[in-house]
Copies of this chain bind each other. A is one copy, B any other.
Amino acid sequence: MSDLIELRDRIRVFTEERDWGQFHDPKSLILALVGEVGELAELFQWLPADEAVERTRNERLHGRVGDELADVLIYLVRLADVLGIDLGETALRKLRGSTARFPAEEVRGQAPDKS
């Protein structure tokens, strides 16, 4: 997944230019990720579930949602980099695993039971 690699490299340069690598231990990066997920959650918390897509078509809110999604991605890519994990490859492998684990004909239309 070369483009996630390109994003990783750009974030790496951004970090090195600022000497911010010293702050990027995994626990700190996960907290930063949690912060961004929290900002994302706040934008949706009081929207009716079945109107959330429509309501976020509003230009200003669409921009803010995009910003938060991007922030989550940036910290996620940085965290994978610090841990030496190939995020794209791992996601593809995970998806292949789920494809095998949840045969379409058996689970069609049923939410996986998380309880």
Contacts and interface: CB of A to CB of B under 8 A. Distances in A.
A2 B4 CA distance: 9
A22 B20 CA distance: 27
Copies of the polypeptide in the assembly: 4
Interface in A31-71: 31-50, 52-53, 56-57, 60-62, 64-67, 69-71
Interface of A: 1-4, 6-7, 10-11, 14, 17-20, 22-23, 25-28, 30-50, 52-53, 56-57, 60-62, 64-67, 69-74, 76-77, 79-80, 82-85, 87-88, 90-95, 98-99, 102, 104, 107-109, 111-112, 114-115
Contacts of A115: 43, 60-61, 64
